[in-house]
Amino acid sequence: MKLIATALGIILACNPLPVFADNSTQLQGYGQGIEKDEINRPLGAVDFNNCYQKSDAYSLSDDENQIILTFDQGYENGYTSKILDTLKEKNVKAIFFLTGDYAKKETALVRRMIDEGHAIGNHGMTHASFPKLSVEELKEEITSLHDFVLENYNYEMQYLRPPCGEYSEKSLQITKELGYKTIMWSFAYVDWNTENQPSPEESLQNALNCAHNGGIYLLHSVSATNCQILGSLIDGLKAKGYTL
């Protein structure tokens, strides 16, 4: 599966929802786990892919030589411009998942992401937990941000990451019916705590050691560490034979 693909086009018409099993609304928190398979893929990511591809939900790409860099954009901390500089220098495209607040406030950065060929993804208008919303609330949470980005940036999003990795079978299915692919991740680390940033050296080595076929890396642009190591991370992954 190529995640960077032709835009799907959002389905905004009200289609009948399927009948779900009683446990389909149960909140589940995604995590890739620490156990690995024989080719270094986290077993939690492998299991998620196997269970939910039918709902167009993925934590790994089928492109074995590719690693996809993704950034969650909840708020701006002064590093996104430098991250974009590095991506441009290295000729690498990424997916940036925006909340509604970010899309509304950081217009210059969002415009730059689009103009420089990156993909923009939906991270929820208010960053609400999807399984805790009613069907109508969930549809509004997704489509209101979709419409805002389309109207203000002339850009139609096709990828979505549920806030905090929280989902249910029902939320995944509704997301699919709205024309989106759900994109989780197969590598992440504690990079979001701006008051306690991890060591750049250890973080870089960890990210390189965890490299695997079809990897989807989750990074946060609020992280000073990510900003500092990004160029070296890209070079190191390419040296291992991956495209990004």
Q: Could you write out the three-class secondary structure of the chain?
A: CCCCCCCCCCCCCCCCCCCCCHHHHCCEECCCCCCECCCCCEHHHHHHHHHHHHHCEECCCCCCCECEEEEEECCCCCCHHHHHHHHHHHCCCCEEEECHHHHHHCHHHHHHHHHCCCEEEECCCCCCCHHHCCHHHHHHHHHHHHHHHHHHHCCCCCEECCHHHEECHHHHHHHHHCCCEEECCCECCCCCCCCCCCCHHHHHHHHHHCCCCCCEEEEECCCHHHHHHHHHHHHHHHHCCCEC
Residue 10 domain flag: no
Query: Which positions of the chain have pLDDT values less than 50?
Result: 1-22
Q: Which of the residues are catalytic?
A: 72, 220
Residue 75 domain flag: yes
Domain total in the chain = 1
Residue 105 domain flag: yes
pTM for the whole structure = 0.89
The whole-number pLDDT of residue 57 equals: 98
Residue 14 domain flag: no
Residue 149 domain flag: yes
* Domain, as residue range, for 158: 48-239
The whole-number pLDDT of residue 52 equals: 97
| Per-residue model confidence as pLDDT tens digits over 64-90 | 899 999 999 999 999 999 999 999 999
Residue 15 domain flag: no
Q: What is the CATH number of the domain that holds 171?
A: 3.20.20.370
Residue 190 domain flag: yes
| Per-residue model confidence as pLDDT tens digits over 24-48 | 889 989 999 999 999 999 999 999 9
Residue 222 domain flag: yes
